[in-house]
Amino acid sequence: MTELTLAQGRVDRDRLLRLLQEYGVYAGVAALLVFNFAFTDHFVSAENFRTQAVQVAPVLIVALGMALAIGTEGVDLSVGSVMALSTSLLSLYLGYGPWAAVLVAVAGGILIGLANGTLVAHLGVQPIVATLALMVAGRGLALVLLPQLKDVRDPGMTALGSGDVLGVPYLVLIAVGLALLVAFVVRRTTFGRQLLAIGDSRPAARLAGLPVRRVLIVVYACSGALAAVAGVLATARLTASDPTSLGTLMELSAITAVVVGGTPLSGGRVRIGGTVAGAVLIQLLTTTLVKHDLPPSWTQMAQAVVIVGAVYAARERGKR
């Protein structure tokens, strides 16, 4: 009887951990929405929802690339610095036209990603070390190119940052489109299956003849490109290039969105829907704290708690 009770207890705990990992992020979003509906002044308005959606777009785009890196049992700490580098390049090349400047900015992000991927895939450097090095180098290069804040006065960029289609901002449409694209790549393409296989077991993937190095390089290049796109969109929204602060601690927000969304740090699985919900959760958390007069630094502490909780749940579930 006692053994049966203990076994039943383990099953219930496993079920609770699984539900927490699978659906905890959605429950968190729902709880914050209910709280704000009830206790936050001026939360329920079209303008506020538009503001929330616009602010979450860059975080979501960066988190999509982070999800791919984590899916291979890696991580990309350089995403914030890539955003800074992209805003510097955008400002420097805006004189050649907005589209040329955007292409140069995204190309800069891809180059940083290729450097990350090469260090990880060919030199065997741990992802956290490789991307940490590029995080420092990327921010430094951004500040060398543009040492101080500079206004971005271009009609095309202004339209990108503030324009909309039927009331839906361009930034939101781009973020949603990229989320759908990444989800399709992960779930429906050979590249996506190879990515997950590498994250599940890299030695097994090599034995199976998968192009491990090539996939890893492409994954980090995609992460760099997405971070650069986020930097361009953030610059367009702010109408200013600020390599000093743009993207600061973005890696923390992206990792939080991915992990709390159900993608395990151990790799082998990528949940894009959960990542979207995770990005929304972070935005709602920030808004809730700010609107109730709590310092923004509390958001970082709250994110740290969320990461620890998500990792603990995944670890406990993995033991069983």
One pLDDT digit (tens) per residue for the chain, 320 residues: 566 666 666 667 677 777 777 788 899 899 999 999 998 888 888 899 999 999 999 999 999 999 999 999 999 999 999 999 999 999 999 999 999 999 999 999 999 999 999 999 999 999 999 999 999 999 999 999 999 888 988 898 999 988 999 889 999 999 999 999 999 999 999 999 999 999 999 999 999 999 999 999 999 999 999 999 999 999 999 999 999 999 998 998 899 899 889 898 888 899 999 999 999 998 998 888 888 887 767 777 877 787 777 777 666 655 55
Q: Is residue 189 part of a domain?
A: yes
Q: Is residue 155 part of a domain?
A: yes
Q: Is residue 119 part of a domain?
A: yes
Neighbours of 118 (CB within 10 A): 17
Number of structural domains in the chain: 1
Q: Is residue 27 part of a domain?
A: no
Name residues whose C-beta falls within 8 Å of residue 21's C-beta, 6 or more positions apart in sequence.
Answer: 262, 310, 313, 314, 317
What is the C-alpha to C-alpha distance for residues 221 and 228, in angstroms, rounded to an integer?
A: 11
Which residue range forms the structural domain that includes residue 88? 47-248
Neighbours of 280 (CB within 10 A): 23
pTM: 0.91
Name residues whose C-beta falls within 8 Å of residue 271's C-beta, 6 or more positions apart in sequence.
Answer: 67, 261, 262, 263
For residues 112 and 171, is the Cβ–Cβ distance under 8 A?
A: no
Two structure tokens written together for 39: 């206790």
Q: Is residue 289 part of a domain?
A: no
Two structure tokens written together for 32: 């914050």
Two structure tokens written together for 11: 């099953």
Q: Where do the DSSP E strands lie in 70-206?
A: 150-151, 164-165, 168-169
Q: Is residue 193 part of a domain?
A: yes
Q: Is residue 78 part of a domain?
A: yes
Distances (CA, A) of 77 to 1, 35, 41, 247: 51, 32, 36, 11
Question: What SS3 state is found at 164?
Answer: strand
Q: Can you give the pLDDT at residue 193?
A: 95
